[in-house]
A and B are shown apart, each in its own frame.
Chain A
Amino acid sequence: MKNTGLILAIVFQLTQLLLVVLAAPLLTGWVNQCKAWLQNRSGAGVLQPYRALNKLFHKDAVIADNASWLFRITPYIVFGCMWLAAAIIPIIAVDLPFSRAADVIALVGVFALARMFIALAAMDVGTSFGSMGARREMLVSFLAEPALLMVLFTASLISQSTQLTHIVETFAHHQFILYPSLAFANIAFVMVLLAENARIPVDNPSTHLELTMIHEAMILEYSARHLALIEWASSLKLFAYIGIGIALFLPQGIIEAGNWAGLPVAIALLFGKLVLLGAGLALLEAMTAKVRIFRVPEFLGTAFLLAVLGLLIHFLLGT
């Protein structure tokens, strides 16, 4: 009986892994499509990221002469990290085997690891754009990380656990309670999400304007399969972040591992949420203007402030 439970859990884990890795470009495509619609363009279709990945995988990689092994290995590490993160987060079910591997703090660490590698690789080739992008990326993440941790701590305090699985269980399977602190955390999280995923107003994923780009500046030297992996990893990161958001703020519908009957409903619900949240993200991006890089600290400072306020309000109201 115990064995079957374990096997079932592993099956669920594999389902999630596959689902995530396959659906991530779709989410990116959907967000881009929504943005196109909001800008009165017809857009390239939601499947465009797949086509782009396909194209990139079929090209030959060009690598700078002075690139070291670090440059080559980074795409794989980044992709691996993001996939792992997406596996840890309870996206379709709680109590998955991987979820015990890391709590939210370790999850932030996984993201940090990927970021460190990509920044090192950007500087590895020695172009000025790469170094500049790396520097800016580190600045953004340096400011975003405390805010993210504060958001996660707020949720952890409420659920008395740093395991995402437990957090989801607390929120999803108990009576509905309004947590003002979570409302604050929610806004802060959205701001962190925008910053960490190189979205407007912090960065613009669709331009290569040298004065403003952050993420794109770091990966300018990559091509072909390496670029494909990094792009895919970016999609996975967005998916993972939205997954965390769902787990923290919208966990209704995440089932327990082994609940076959609930699986189709869970997946349908997940897609519903992703469609809505993706559209929301596009709307948010369409409505805001990109801020100057000097204002990014203020933007993320606000996120941090909100997260801290959420934490404080939790202590005060103590519900």
Chain B
Amino acid sequence: MEIYAGIDIGSVTTKCVILQGKSIIGKALVKTGIDTEKCANDVLDMAAGDAGIKVEEIQRMVSTGYGRRIFRRADRIITEISAAAAGGYILCGEKATLIIDVGGQDTKVIEVNGKGEVLDFLMNDKCAAGTGRFLEIMSHVFETDIQGFSQLAIGSESPVAINSTCSVFAESEVVSLIASSARKEDIAAGLFRSIASRVAGMVRQFRRYELTVFCGGGAKSQALKGFIEKAIERPLIVLQEPQFVVAYGAACLAR
């Protein structure tokens, strides 16, 4: 059976998924470093190792993500929007109508039709507000990682109101909140809620969101999922290992 690879070169991590026919036989994830092309090659080697195949056995490769053009071995280059749509749609049993992808640098909301084709999409503005990067910066303020930060937020009963969505200003707002002895849990929850409301604002611009899939690194956070669900008054479907959805979509488009 033919073998395909999808490589998603994101701003924070680089992911690779290898498909044989329709099933995933290997995957890998590395942090995106200064040498983006090397990262892409490394992650491909690792995924091939995971699959127990040689890179040469891969018939076609598709690259995506913000560094998609840097990977010169790709047979085809597509945007992460098309890849997320394909990945989310196929993985949820071809029923998705809306896909939310909270990545490191961008947050996207993508509407798909009954064939998994993109009908419309929205992306966040150029700054980090409402993205994974924002969460990362805030978790540093709390001296933890995103998972720890998410756990902290879940423990809150009354989230504080955070006004700044700019990561630089939010950081100083948080520092003054800490100084005013607000509970850490409530501050963390307030931050998640502020991102969730931005994402929800994008979601509400679409009319069809019966079946909404949540993917990207941000989907690993239970707190973020919870606050978005509350804001849009709909449950979200979080796929297993949501960080790989875009790379999986790229691999599917290589078929």
Asked if A pairs with B, the answer is: no
Chain B contact residues, CB within 8 Å of chain A:
none
Chain A contact residues, CB within 8 Å of chain B:
none
